[in-house]
Structure 1
């Protein structure tokens, strides 16, 4: 067998191995649709109990939108904010409020919110972890005060491990 043919076989084998590992990683560490709806509904219940009208977004491990609800009469502008809070929390695996502390003028990552087609660096985005502590997605809430948004998001994220 020629060296070129052996090299091609090695490359194909390597690519297939990498793809199978990526596919497996996506499956084992990704939020299911049932979990996404559970988080969404827990957050919505908390918002209703707090008498706050919000938009709630849940993204999967790849930061892709998995579930969303816009409560009646919630702010239209909060739709995009909720989605971006969830994506930001997943992109950096951090509470967006904590990220915001680092993005202030003079902070170590000042202006990072200008990256990734726009990030949100104030409270309301929380990574979602499974019972093993692995991040499987994130939730973003927008429409209330930042304290309300954060509390509602935490209620949704915690529902997965409760």
Structure 2
């Protein structure tokens, strides 16, 4: 994960947000959950910066998308009670896996500001750029 590529992923998410009619914040983190790049669209919601970063961090920490994690942390789920200060467990965070057999987490993207479906679509646009390399 490097700054140049992380900024390109932010831009891909922002372009998708414009197509979706959403105003979002986008965070890209490295394998340690540290912020590499961030963009916030004009007039995006006030909570977007912390939620986008939290979704990206959560995706790295749990090695899964936050959309897939959401039902697991709900009452009765296998990970009920996991959500806390740092974990954001609703759609919009996607881990970025290294190519090859190891499939180690190289980082993650998190998006917040639209509906959950819009956030997921924007994160998927950024993740698709990563997958294409």
Superposed structure 1 runs of 4+ greater than 4 Å apart: none
- Distance of 1:135 and 1:40 partners within structure 2: 18
CA deviation map 1:105-158 (0-9, x unaligned)? 0111101012xx331111000011244344210000000000100010011011
- Distance of 1:65 and 1:131 partners within structure 2: 21
Q: In the alignment, does 2:126 pair up with 1:156? A: yes
Q: How is 1:7-46 mapped onto 2 (pairs within 5 angstroms)?
A: 31-46=1-16
Offset of residue 54 of structure 1: 0.3
Q: Which is further off, 117-126 or 67-76?
A: 117-126
Unaligned runs of 5+ in 1: 1-30
Offset of residue 35 of structure 1: 1.7
- Distance of 2:40 and 2:119 partners within structure 1: 14
Q: In the alignment, does 2:33 pair up with 1:68? A: no
Q: In the alignment, does 2:94 pair up with 1:126? A: yes
> TM-score under structure 2 normalisation?
0.92
Q: Which has the higher contact order (CA 8 A, sep 6+)?
A: 2
Unaligned runs of 5+ in 2: none
Offset of residue 161 of structure 1: 2.1
2:107 matched residue in structure 1? 137
Secondary structure at 1:113 match in 2:
coil
Q: How many residue pairs were aligned? A: 130
Offset of residue 37 of structure 1: 1.2
Secondary structure at 1:94 match in 2:
coil
Q: In the alignment, does 2:58 pair up with 1:84? A: no
